[in-house]
Amino acid sequence: MQEIVDSLDKKERVDYLLDTCFVLYNLEKGHAKNLISFCKANSVGMSSFNLSELVHVHHHLKGTSNHHLRDFLKQKVVCCVPVSVNPGDRAGEREYVSAFDEKLLHIVPDASDAVLFVQALRVGANVLTRDRHHVFTAAAENYAHSHNIEVLNEIPR
C-alpha cells in the first residue's frame, strides 16, 4: 500500500481535499465509481497525513474494502498534498494547527481532524468529509466560509 501512495503525484494546490473517512465511506457503500468519476473531473487530493492514515488502517478494513481502496489509489485520480506533520504525533498535530490559528482547536477539537482542515484552508480547497463530530459541523462550516471554502459531506453534483 505504501508503494501505491508513494507513486501518487504531489501537488501544492487542489480544489478538493478528501478526508480518510470520506474515502472509506464511499468505497464501503459501493460509491467507488461516483468517487472516481468526480476525482477524474476535478482537481482532487489527499493530504500526506490522510494518506498515511489509509496506509495504517487498510489491513483492518472489512470485506473487500481493502481491495477497493487499493484499486482506487492505483487509478491515480487523487494526488498527494504534502503536510509537514504525521499521524500519531499529537504534539506536532497541535503545533501545526495552532501555528495556523490558535482558535481553531476550539472549533475542530480533534487535532488530527484539524490537520486536514488547516491544509484545506492553506491551499484553498473544499473539504469532503463524513466526520460529523469535528469537521462537518456548523462552527467549522462557518469558519471555512469565512476563508472561502466549503465543508461537504457528499460528492458535489
Domain at 86, CATH number: 3.40.50.1010
Q: Within a domain: residue 11?
A: yes
Q: What is the pLDDT of residues 84-138, one digit of tens each?
A: 999 999 999 999 999 999 999 999 888 988 999 899 999 999 999 987 766 777 8
Q: Within a domain: residue 107?
A: yes
Q: Within a domain: residue 157?
A: no
Question: Range of 44's domain?
Answer: 2-152
Output the pLDDT for position 133: 62
What's the rounded Cα separation, in Å, for the pair 15 and 42?
7
Q: What is the pLDDT of residues 110-120, one digit of tens each?
A: 898 899 989 99
Is pLDDT at 59 greater than 90 in this prediction?
Answer: no
Count of structural domains within the chain = 1
Grid cell at residue 137: 459541523
pTM: 0.93
11, 56, 20, 15: which is closest to 135 by C-alpha? 20
What's the rounded Cα separation, in Å, for the pair 8 and 80?
6
For 85, left (φ over 0), alpha (ψ -120 to 50), or beta? beta
Q: Within a domain: residue 46?
A: yes
